[in-house]
């Protein structure tokens, strides 16, 4: 037997304190490949980065880095609202300087990730696809490709909301995130309530009453499909049963196509069944959590992802 080709290390970009990073590091090391955590939560407080004008002139904590074999991108923590960031005290003291500091951090980190992408390193997922992930574009691209998505309206136009909501059940949720999905009630269509759209736009969507499904796709393959049975409209705080199940082949094909349309190497997608029983795509996440699903549904998304990253690093 010939030993497998030596692999360059896999870089994990995120927080050392994020279990997704620490579990992946352990699983990849167990497969005999080195990992390096670029701790973006601890940057610039602790993590020291130095970039020169050469594309590969990159030093982390005083160590000159070689070119990674693959990069797993969990989070860059470039906004005070990002999950895991605690900037309350800094924002209270001086929000303007704090925002400027976050923007400076973001610019350097995006530049760093872009360098590895420019060097041809496989990215899970590439920064260059993230413009397609914004939901008002992502769902339109999926619809354009003939994939089933719910009828949706993103707007701050009260009249458009009234027209959209006439004669059917509607769900509403944030455009970007930060709040749960709720059913739109008659009281939400009052003048007063709709005036809130003057502060921020909102997503309105045909309400899908059926089961929630989560599908993970990695390198052109469905690696896990899970259904969540819940009474509540937003399953996240209200799961009742989480179980692995076999996806019908035509739905699996739609999931692969959706992943390809958005240019992702890996994703966790949310689907929900409409009243007629069709599974419609709510979204593809570019950095989905997976440990909770592995624990509850008995899937091995962690193992698949670790092997996928190792394989990419050996290629």
Stretch that binds ligand ADP, among 65-73, 100-108, 193-201, 205-213 (CB under 6 A): 205-213
> In terms of DSSP bridges, do strands 241-244 and 266-273 run parallel, antiparallel, or are they unpaired?
unpaired
Alpha carbon dihedral 267, 273, 279, 282, in 10-degree steps, equals: -40
Cis status, amide bond into 125, omega within 30 of 0: yes
Neighbours of 119 (CB within 10 A): 11
Which helix (H) or strand (E) segment holds residue 302: the answer is helix 301-314
Stretch that binds ligand ADP, among 39-47, 48-56, 122-130, 233-241 (CB under 6 A): 233-241
Stretch that binds ligand ADP, among 39-47, 62-70, 186-194, 231-239 (CB under 6 A): 231-239
Percent composition of the chain: helix, strand, coil (DSSP 3-state, to 5): 35, 25, 40
235 binds ligand ADP, rule: CB under 6 A = yes
Q: Which of 205, 225, 254, 267 binds ligand ADP (CB under 6 A)?
A: 205
Using CB distances below 5 to 8 A depending on partner kind, what does residue 138 bind out of ligand ADP, Mg ion, none? none
68 binds ligand ADP, rule: CB under 6 A = no
The residue (of 36 and 147) whose beta carbon lies closer to ligand ADP is 147
Q: Which residue is nearest to Mg ion (CB)?
A: 270
Q: Whole-angstrom Cα distance, residue 190 to residue 177?
A: 24
User: Quick one: three-class SS letters along 251-268?
Assistant: HHHHHHHHHHHHCCCEEE
211 binds ligand ADP, rule: CB under 6 A = no
* Cα angle 266, 257, 172; round to 5: 80
Residues 139-168 that bind ligand ADP (CB under 6 A): 150
Q: Which of 208, 226, 297, 305 binds ligand ADP (CB under 6 A)?
A: 208
Q: How far is the CB of 176 from ligand ADP (least distance, A)?
A: 8
Q: Whole-angstrom Cα distance, residue 147 to residue 255?
A: 9
Q: Whole-angstrom Cα distance, residue 21 to residue 123?
A: 15
The residue (of 116 and 204) whose beta carbon lies closer to ligand ADP is 204
Q: Whole-angstrom Cα distance, residue 47 to residue 32?
A: 26
181 binds ligand ADP, rule: CB under 6 A = yes
Residues 261-300 that bind Mg ion (CB under 5 A): 270, 285
Give contact residues for ligand ADP (rule: CB under 6 A). Answer: 150, 171, 173, 177, 181, 205, 207-208, 212, 233-235, 270, 272, 282-283
| Site of interaction with Mg ion (CB under 5 A) | 270, 285
């Amino acid at each position: 037997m010939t030993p497998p080709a030596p692999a360059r290390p896999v870089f994990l970009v995120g927080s050392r304190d994020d279990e997704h990073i620490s579990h992946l590091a352990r699983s990849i090391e167990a497969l005999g490949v080195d990992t390096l955590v670029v701790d973006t939560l601890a940057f610039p407080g602790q993590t020291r980065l130095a970039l020169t004008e050469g594309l590969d002139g990159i030093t982390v904590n005083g160590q000159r880095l070689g070119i990674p074999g693959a990069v797993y991108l969990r989070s860059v923590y470039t906004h005070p609202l990002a999950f895991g960031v605690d900037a309350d005290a800094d924002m209270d003291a001086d929000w303007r300087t704090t925002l400027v500091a976050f923007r400076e951090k973001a610019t350097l980190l995006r530049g760093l990730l872009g360098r590895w992408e420019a060097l041809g390193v496989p990215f899970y997922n590439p920064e260059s696809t993230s413009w397609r992930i914004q939901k008002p574009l992502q769902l339109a691209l999926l619809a354009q490709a003939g994939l089933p998505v719910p009828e949706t309206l993103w707007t701050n136009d009260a009249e458009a909301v009234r027209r959209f909501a006439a004669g059917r059940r509607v769900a509403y949720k944030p455009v970007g995130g930060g709040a749960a999905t709720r059913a739109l009630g008659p009281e939400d269509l009052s003048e007063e309530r709709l005036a809130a759209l003057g502060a921020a736009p909102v997503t309105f969507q045909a309400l899908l009453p059926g089961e929630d499904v989560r599908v993970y796709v990695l390198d052109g393959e469905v690696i896990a499909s899970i259904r969540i049975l819940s009474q509540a409209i937003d399953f996240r705080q209200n799961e009742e049963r989480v179980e692995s199940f076999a996806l019908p082949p035509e739905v699996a094909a739609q999931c692969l196509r959706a992943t390809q349309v958005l240019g992702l190497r890996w994703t966790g997608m949310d689907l929900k069944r409409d009243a007629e029983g069709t599974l419609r795509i709510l979204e593809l996440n570019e950095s989905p959590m997976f440990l909770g699903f592995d624990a509850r549904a008995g899937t091995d998304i962690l193992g698949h992802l670790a092997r996928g990253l190792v394989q990419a690093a050996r290629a």
